[in-house]
Chain A
Amino acid sequence: MPTLGADMEAGTLVEWLRHPGDTVKRGDIIAVVDTQKGAIEIEVFEDGMLDKTIVQPGEKVPVGAVLALIRGTGPKEAAAAPSSTIPPAPTIAAGRAQPVAADHAPSIAALHPQAPERLRVSPVARKLAADLGVDLSRVAGTGAQGAITREDVERAGAAPIPPTPRTAAQPAERAAAMRTAIAVAMARSKREIPHYYLSTTIDMSAALAWLRAANEKRPVTERLLPAVLLIKAVALALREVPQLNGYWADGAFKPGGGIHVGAAISLRGGGLVAPALHDADKADLTTLMRMLQDVVGRARAGSLRSSEFTDPTITVTNLGDQGVESTFGIIYPPQVALVGFGKISARPWIGPAGIEARPLVTATLSADHRATDGHRGGVFLATIERLLQKPEQL
């Protein structure tokens, strides 16, 4: 079960889209998992052959649990997938804080086979025991070397009821779960990340004039929103200031493998997701606009992909449409920065001819002081401002 964000602890397998024996390629969607963020399509991270599915539809398992085995291209190598290659979420210091994790404490322990264990228990059996509430220390193992098998656990469980397959959580239930997930992630951010905040006002005259002219020539299906210019400017600025693009993990900054901008998207009915626009710095504006439309549509329909949750290397939030002038965001761990844009509105500006009304936007940066200092953050915001003055080069 891949972690689809720092706020995710468990997921319910909805269905397998590929079956044992199928050949799978990196990027293939092999399963659908239901989470607080909606149904998410799980992608494979390695080429190989789907050997065995371990978690069955309807089962809820914690992050890190093995969903299936994928036999790699090497002769006898069986790799756990897809969680094996996803950068592990920084240790969920959760057991205490989160009820969900507590429910699954036994199976979380199963994720660390190197830890000393008193009992020989197969992961499946351990998971089943957790689900059925069976105390493993009271189960007699009948497997090899006295290992406790799934069958042993089933026998020990009062009534071994197979898990009821269910498709997706009800909207109200999901909204509540998402609220909890956001609470966990944001509380963790404020507990662990020493934020610093910077703000600057950017003249958007050139950018909006360029956009207006460009949109006049474009059919409605290819029209651009100002948000696309802002996101592109952030992505390009990160090339110059890569220290803000990546993660804080294990006491050090780890640069992102690409510039994957998480676009904060509010959902109708409450809640928020920030899926990745992959390689946003390399996409031209038309492509980036399509990517944004696609991801907003799928976020609101509840069908995002696993990589979109795991990959963002920075988040951009644009609360402008709600009419606020500026937003000081909370960093989404383990990222190290969040850029906020307020509403683009006509405000006084000192130009060559004195005071003029110009469209301005307040850009803010929330950054992790462990990874960077204010000077670096200031250079970054200044770079965004500079880039937005030459919209034709974005």
Chain B
Amino acid sequence: MTPDEIKQAVVEALSKIAPEIQPGAIDSKTNVRDQFDIDSMDFLNFVLALHARLGVDVPETDYPRLYTVDDAVAYLVAKTGTAPARGSSKSGA
């Protein structure tokens, strides 16, 4: 799965919880909980949706790493073992 696909999965999981979210209007660097008035039950549903879609079981201690869309994508890319731009990375060693 590419980082773009993972980002799409994250946005879809968010839209499921808060249907009024316009995917284009998401600020990927701002905490989604503040941005979209997401409570702890919503957030758990977000984690559940990611689990269903990507098979990643995010431990509770890692929840803060999902607070922004950018962080969540980076975290999930690492967790799913997707090697993002490794080929084009400068630190290829």
A residues engaging B (CB < 8 A)? Answer: 212, 215-216, 219-221, 223, 225-227, 266, 268-269, 292-293, 296-297, 321-322
Q: A292 contacts B41, CB within 8 Å?
A: yes
* A212 CA / B62 CA spacing, docked (Å): 12
If A220-B51, A293-B45, A322-B39 are given as contacts, then 19 extra A-B residue pairs at C-beta distance below 8 Å, sorted by A number, are A212-B60, A215-B60, A216-B60, A219-B57, A220-B47, A220-B48, A221-B51, A223-B60, A225-B41, A227-B40, A227-B41, A268-B19, A268-B20, A268-B37, A269-B20, A293-B41, A297-B45, A321-B39, A321-B40
Question: Which of A268, A269, A296, A322: most chain B Cβ within 10 A?
Answer: A268
* A322 CA / B37 CA spacing, docked (Å): 8
* A321 CA / B47 CA spacing, docked (Å): 17
Bits for B1-33, please: 1 = Cβ < 8 Å to A, else 0.
000000000000000001110000000000000
CB contacts (< 8 Å) of B18 on chain A: these are 268
User: Can you offer 20 A-B residue contacts whose CB atoms are under 8 A?
Assistant: A212-B60, A215-B60, A216-B59, A216-B60, A220-B48, A221-B48, A223-B44, A225-B44, A226-B40, A266-B39, A268-B18, A268-B19, A268-B20, A268-B37, A293-B44, A296-B41, A297-B45, A321-B39, A321-B40, A322-B39
Q: B58 contacts A220, CB within 8 Å?
A: yes
* A215 CA / B59 CA spacing, docked (Å): 8
What 6 A-B pairs have minimum CB-CB distances, sorted nearest first?
A321-B39, A220-B57, A220-B51, A215-B60, A296-B41, A225-B40
* A293 CA / B18 CA spacing, docked (Å): 16
Bits for B31-68, please: 1 = Cβ < 8 Å to A, else 0.
00000010111001101100100000111110000000
**Number of residue pairs spanning A and B whose beta carbons lie under 8 angstroms apart:** 37
* A322 CA / B34 CA spacing, docked (Å): 9
* A178 CA / B14 CA spacing, docked (Å): 26
CB contacts (< 8 Å) of A292 on chain B: these are 41
* A293 CA / B51 CA spacing, docked (Å): 16
Question: Which of B45, B59, B60: most chain A Cβ within 10 A?
Answer: B60
B residues engaging A (CB < 8 A)? Answer: 18-20, 37, 39-41, 44-45, 47-48, 51, 57-61
CB contacts (< 8 Å) of A269 on chain B: these are 20
B92 CB, nearest partner CB in chain A, Å: 34
* A322 CA / B45 CA spacing, docked (Å): 17
Question: Which of B18, B19, B40, B58: most chain A Cβ within 10 A?
Answer: B40
* A223 CA / B46 CA spacing, docked (Å): 13
A229 CB, nearest partner CB in chain B, Å: 12
A45 CB, nearest partner CB in chain B, Å: 30
Chain A, residue nearest B56 (CB): A220
CB contacts (< 8 Å) of A322 on chain B: these are 39
CB contacts (< 8 Å) of B60 on chain A: these are 212, 215-216, 223
* A221 CA / B45 CA spacing, docked (Å): 9
CB contacts (< 8 Å) of B61 on chain A: these are 216
* A322 CA / B38 CA spacing, docked (Å): 9
CB contacts (< 8 Å) of A227 on chain B: these are 40-41
CB contacts (< 8 Å) of A223 on chain B: these are 44, 60
* A226 CA / B45 CA spacing, docked (Å): 15
B25 CB, nearest partner CB in chain A, Å: 15
Chain A, residue nearest B36 (CB): A268
CB contacts (< 8 Å) of A225 on chain B: these are 40-41, 44
* A266 CA / B18 CA spacing, docked (Å): 13
CB contacts (< 8 Å) of B58 on chain A: these are 220
A322 CB, nearest partner CB in chain B, Å: 8
A289 CB, nearest partner CB in chain B, Å: 9
A37 CB, nearest partner CB in chain B, Å: 18
* A373 CA / B40 CA spacing, docked (Å): 34
Chain B, residue nearest A226 (CB): B40
CB contacts (< 8 Å) of B41 on chain A: these are 225, 227, 292-293, 296
Chain B, residue nearest A269 (CB): B20
* A268 CA / B41 CA spacing, docked (Å): 13
* A269 CA / B44 CA spacing, docked (Å): 20
* A321 CA / B36 CA spacing, docked (Å): 13
* A296 CA / B20 CA spacing, docked (Å): 17
* A269 CA / B48 CA spacing, docked (Å): 23
